[in-house]
Structure 1
Amino acid sequence: MSDKKYVTVTLVKSTIGRLPAHRACVSGLGLRKMHQTKTVIDTPENRGMINKVSYLLKVEDA
């Protein structure tokens, strides 16, 4: 279990007025409110969502 890598993502910009696909990526990462932080497993799927909406997020290695 400890061999999994994690990434901490924080929503720093609002999803209001964004594309529906970008809103879906943010909710797929488990983020709902501004300045909410979640730790997600570093998988190619999660990395793809993070890259798509990187302008809305702050990303840190956990």
Structure 2
Amino acid sequence: MALKVKLTKSYAGASEDMLATIRGLGLKKFGDERLLKDTPAIRGMAFKVKHLVSSETVSTEAPAPKRRKPRKIALRDRARAHQAKQDKA
């Protein structure tokens, strides 16, 4: 089970708590839509900003979030790979 959350109204003038909740749901701009795991925490977040978002339960599974390396580490790895490539040539 998953929860489909869509930002349907502007958050201009909303409090800092509401802005943080919207960011926590992964919504950035008007019309953004996310498919999230249906947990009590996510439901609570959607309830807190229910006047700004629309939410519905979907039978499909939510995709697993992709883990990313920090920018500094990714740049370091890329530089090392580039250096190794140049050393071989």
By the TM > 0.5 criterion, same fold? yes
1:61 and 2:57 equivalent?
yes
1:19: how far off? 0.7
Percent pairwise identity: 36
1:40 aligns to what?
36
1:17 and 2:27 equivalent?
no
1:26 aligns to what?
22
Considering only CA atoms, is the larger Rg found in Structure 1 or Structure 2? Answer: 2
Large movers: runs of 4+ above 4 Å: none
Q: Which has the higher contact order (CA 8 A, sep 6+)?
A: 1
Segments of structure 2 that go 5 or more residues without pairing to the other structure are: 59-89
More strand by share: 1
Q: How many residues align?
A: 58
Segments of structure 1 that go 5 or more residues without pairing to the other structure are: none
C-alpha RMSD over aligned residues? 0.7
TM-score, normalising length: structure 1? 0.88
